[in-house]
Amino acid sequence: MTESSGSKLLNGEACQRTLRGKNAGKNGFVKNHCVFEHPRKYRRPTERSQNAAPNSSLYKKPFSESFEETPLLVAVLTYMGYGILTIFGYFRDFLRHWNIEKCHIAHEREQQKDFVPLYQDFENFYTRNLYMRIRDNWNRPICSVPGAKVDLVERVTHNYNWTFEHTGKVVKDVINMGSYNYLGFAENTGACASAAIETTHAYGVGVASTRCEIGNLDIHEELEQLVARFLGVESSMAFGMGFATNSMNIPPLTGKGCLILSDELNHASLVLGARLSGSTIRVFKHNNMQSLEKLLRDAIAHGQPRTHRPWKKILIVVEGIYSMEGSIVRLPEVIALKKRYKAYLYLDEAHSIGALGPNGRGVVDYFGLDPKDVDIMMGTFTKSFGAAGGYIGGRKELIDYLRCHSHSALYATSMSPPVAQQIISSMKIIMGEDGSTLGKDRLRQLSENTTYFRRKLREMGFIIYGNDDSPVVPLMLYMPAKIGAFGREMLKRNIGTVVVGFPATPIIESRARFCVSAAHTREMLDTALRAISEVGDLLQLKYSRRERPLSTPGWTYEESLLQD
């Protein structure tokens, strides 16, 4: 839904620009040479874009991504629901304020009551009065390996989620639709696990020093060479934490006088990194290349604000798969833009590495592009590899520079050896270097599962966001009460899911997010789908107004018709 309005707006602006450009052409203003201009003003939601794939020549295969519009009635009811809950929130706050009711959450001490309050903002109101009521859906302790099935610790609450008690029982064999275990490497048996155990025997678990002091083990060097080979880049570097990889490696790359162009839905770690760097940040519409191009052109034409000096450098920051939308970055277009406007590209492949592409090498592999076109390849080992940590890959000079400037290389303890071993073993399996076809099988299984799961959900009439090939499958819930109800009802049916609400998504677009894994068998997926359908009927979640089965007249970015 945001897409359509966003695109209209942008194209409107593009038109204005054209006019302005023509008038001001003589004064040295930018003339209109946009790479990506829509042949038409905008597409109406009901229109099927048969021939409106402006840059389809850049894609080697169909790129079909859809974000069905929120039905108006649902949006209105959602706001109404939030309104009612907010009124009750104020009411409860009122009761707490006058000590009619006991306040469980952090609040000012009596002695400090005239101080500027520490704990008062909207998000806190939200936590106290909305999140708390359905908190039983999150932070649930699990007590087994988070593979295709997990065991949960059973817990109860006697005071409406303010405190929990463990009953000592275990909920067995819950189908896990929430872990980022794309290739199913979260295992406690098998080749990877035994290799990790051996490494623990050899090196121990802790390293107790940083990479540039006594924490640089041979296993780390081996890992970095392997990662570089896997990605097809000159050199790479591994860090102990994915979040820190982003937030600590953007600051050494950009600084004052630089411009960061960031997708509006980038992960918190990227946002934090960009803010820490002190550069100017401009945000473009999610995966919208017209918006990005407009920002690039403006940046080059106008330079820095006030001084109008040219920007020192421009860094485009995008992700491979967006974890809340399930969309895949339009990388061929981003690269075309980056080349044209001489910007740098930072690609975060946290979710896509291992999960996309015929060889599991992420979006670059998926689109069949050259990894050398991406200046900074970042990714994490937390997801597909079933380990922990992150990497940066790129040219040798870049990595050498980061080795002595990145905070997470200089000040953070290096990666634990068994974790490094887990990455090495799983990566070798994906690459087929262990002499088996296990990796290929897993990749194929994942893409089959993804296609199957997405197709079935769509046929059932749910609103599903994202790209058809992305293993992250968001299912829209919208109304606040349905977030809680969905999680609880699914768990009653022995399916563990992740439900996501406001701070992570726009306020009305609450959703449930499934992550398909290669470890899921067809039976598990069928069980899950049956339960989802049942809960969908119970909660009336089948909002989609597309004609079923499967054609997509809704507003979409659709480029499934490639002539060439």
Ligand X SMILES: Cc1ncc(COP(=O)(O)O)c(C=O)c1O
Question: Which chain residues interact with ligand X by CB under 6 A?
Answer: 241-243, 246, 267, 269, 319, 323, 348, 350-351, 380, 382, 390
Measured from the CB of residue 515, what is the shortest distance to ligand X in angstroms?
A: 11
Find the shortest distance in angstroms from Cβ 427 to ligand X: 16
Min separation Cβ 321 and ligand X, Å:
8
Nearer to another protein, 87 or 404 (CB): 87
Q: Does 90 bind another protein (CB under 8 A)?
A: no
Q: Which stretch binds another protein (CB under 8 A): 81-89, 102-110, 235-243, 409-417?
A: 81-89
For 201, other C-beta atoms within 10 Å of its C-beta total 9
**Contact between 410 and another protein (CB under 8 A)?**
no
How would DSSP label each residue in 204-216? -S---SBTTTT--
Which H/E stretch holds residue 114? Answer: none
| Residue from the set 9, 19, 24, 84 that interacts with another protein by CB under 8 A | 84
Q: Which range in 77-85, 310-318, 327-335, 522-530 contacts another protein by CB under 8 A?
A: 77-85
- Written as six digits, the tokens of 520 are 């899921």
Phi and psi angles of residue 192, each rounded to the nearest 5 degrees, phi first: -65, -45
With CB under 8 A as the rule, give the number of residues binding another protein. Answer: 22
3-state secondary structure of 36: coil
The residue annotated as part of the active site, out of 267, 285, 383, 456, is 383
| 490 near another protein, judged by CB under 8 A | no
Closest CB 93 distance from another protein, rounded Å? 13
Judged by CB under 8 A, the residue of 88, 90, 162, 411 near another protein is 88
Please identify which residue in 6, 45, 71, 81 interacts with another protein, judged by CB under 8 A: 81
Query: Which of the choices ligand X, another protein, none does residue 260 contact, using the CB cut-off of 5 to 8 A by kind?
Result: none
From CA 327, how far away is CA 251, in angstroms rounded? 27
Q: Which does 276 bind (CB under 5 to 8 A by kind): ligand X, another protein, none?
A: none
> Given candidates 539, 553, 561, 562, which one binds another protein under the rule CB under 8 A?
539
Rg of the chain on CA atoms, in Å: 25
Burial 346-369 (b: 16+ CB within 10 A, else e): bbbbbbbbbbbbebbbbbbbbbeb
The residue from 389, 480, 496, 554 that contacts another protein (CB under 8 A) is 480
351 is catalytic: yes
Determine whether 38 is an active site residue: no
Question: Out of ligand X, another protein, none, which partner does residue 281 contact, by CB within 5 to 8 A per kind?
Answer: none
What is d(CA 147, CA 344) in angstroms, rounded to the nearest whole number?
38
- Binding residue for another protein, selected from 238, 463, 479, 519, defined by CB under 8 A: 479
For the residues of 266-319, what is the DSSP string, one character each?
Answer: --HHHHHHHHHHT-EEEEE-TT-HHHHHHHHHHHHHH-STTT-PPPS-EEEEEE
Bond prior to 310 in cis (omega within 30° of 0): no
**Cβ of residue 479: shortest distance to another protein, in angstroms?**
6
Q: Which is nearer to ligand X, 471 or 536 (CB)?
A: 471
Q: How far is the CB of 246 from ligand X (least distance, A)?
A: 5
Cα–Cα distance measured from residue 416 to residue 389, given in angstroms and rounded to the nearest whole number: 9
Burial label for 264, CB within 10 Å (0-12, 13-18, 19+), is: middle
Q: Which residue do the tokens 């002539």 mark?
A: 563
C-alpha separations of 358 from 61, 207, 364, 448, 471 in Å = 12, 36, 10, 12, 14
Strand partners, 512: 475, 499
Which among another protein, ligand X, none contacts residue 88 (Cβ within 5 to 8 A by kind)?
A: another protein
Query: How close are the terminal C-alpha atoms of the chain, in Å?
Result: 30
Q: Residue 269: which of ligand X, another protein, none does it interact with, CB under 5 to 8 A by kind?
A: ligand X
Residue 178 contacts which entry, ligand X, another protein, none (Cβ below 5-8 A, type-dependent) = none
From the list 132, 165, 171, the residue with the least C-alpha distance to 152 is 171
Among 485, 508, 515, 532, binds another protein (CB under 8 A): 485
Instruction: Give buried/exposed letters for 421-442 (b at 16+ CB in 10 A, else e).
Output: bbbbbbbbbbbeebeeeebbeb
Which option in ligand X, another protein, none does residue 350 bind, with CB closer than 5 to 8 A by kind?
Answer: ligand X
Q: From the list another protein, ligand X, none, which binds 241 (C-beta under 5 to 8 Å, kind-based)?
A: ligand X
> Cβ(381)–Cβ(391) under 8 Å?
yes
Listed residue (404, 539, 519, 514) closest to 458, CA to CA: 514
Can you read off the two tokens belonging to residue 136? 């039983």
| Amino acid type, 368 | G
Q: Considering only residues 538, 545, 548, 549, which one is a binding residue for another protein as defined by CB under 8 A?
A: 538
Nearest-approach distance from CB 225 to ligand X, in angstroms: 21
Work out whether 95 is an interface residue with another protein (CB under 8 A): no
Q: Verify binding: residue 482, another protein, rule CB under 8 A.
A: yes
* 3-class secondary-structure state, position 155: strand
Closest approach of ligand X to the CB of residue 438, in Å: 24
Q: Under a CB-based contact definition with an 8 Å cutoff, are residues 403 and 409 in contact? A: yes
Q: Which of 5, 540, 548, 549 binds another protein (CB under 8 A)?
A: 540
Question: Which of these segments, 78-86, 282-290, 493-501, 545-553, binds another protein (CB under 8 A)?
Answer: 78-86
Give dist(CA 225, CA 424) in Å, integer. Answer: 10
Give, as ranges, the residues between 119 and 178 that touch another protein (CB under 8 A). Answer: 130, 133-134, 160
Closest alpha carbon to 215 in 415, 74, 472: 415
Residue 412's closest CA among 211, 203, 251, 218?
A: 211
CB of 215 to another protein, least distance (A): 47
Q: Which is nearer to another protein, 127 or 382 (CB)?
A: 127
When CB distances are held under 5 to 8 angstroms depending on the partner's kind, the choice from another protein, ligand X, none that residue 85 binds is another protein
Q: Which partner, another protein, ligand X, none, binds residue 246 by CB below 5 to 8 Å per kind?
A: ligand X
Residues near another protein (CB under 8 A) are 77, 80-82, 84-85, 88, 91, 130, 133-134, 160, 479-482, 484-485, 537-540
Catalytic residues: 323, 351, 383
